[in-house]
Amino acid sequence: MELFGSFVRPHGETLGFPARSGTTGVVKTLGNTYQFTVDVSDFAPEDIVVTTSNNQIEVHAEKLASDGTVMNTFTHKCQLPEDVDPTSVSSSLGDNGMLTIRAQRRPAKHSEHVQQTFRTEIKI
């Protein structure tokens, strides 16, 4: 297992958030897959949105009160390396409230690199 990076706040500060399982938001490389886990146990699945754009994954959760006011919200962003296939991003929510995000690495190409822009949103 190779560690790749960590979550960052919008101002570039390293984000070490307390998660129930002891994770600190580290991106791991497992074979041809990048993976990270976020504790979203305080939110219902319909409160969580995972978005990818230009090799950045954002997890946003927002809990609303019955009158429509925001009770709880958070956003975690993670920058992935250039060799990630943005169309391969998937997520799964465990019974313990841990959201696992996975993205596949692209096979190495020897041809000229063409920059493509993708945006994907996954509603949990």
Which pLDDT score is estimated for 92? 93
Check: pTM over 0.85? Answer yes or no: no
| 24 inside domain | no
| 28 inside domain | no
| 80 inside domain | yes
Provide the domain count of the chain: 1
**Structure-token pair, residue 70:** 């925001």
Consecutive sets of 10 residues in the chain, 124 residues long: mean pLDDT of each? Answer: 43 38 62 89 92 87 91 88 85 92 79 62 76
| Residue at 112: amino acid letter | E
| 87 inside domain | yes
| 84 inside domain | yes
Which pLDDT score is estimated for 23? 41
| 7 inside domain | no
Domain boundaries, position 85? 39-105
CATH of the domain at 76: 2.60.40.790
| 43 inside domain | yes
Which pLDDT score is estimated for 116? 63
Q: Cα–chain-centroid distance for residue 115?
A: 21
| 29 inside domain | no
d(CA 28, CA 47): 25
d(CA 73, CA 64): 9
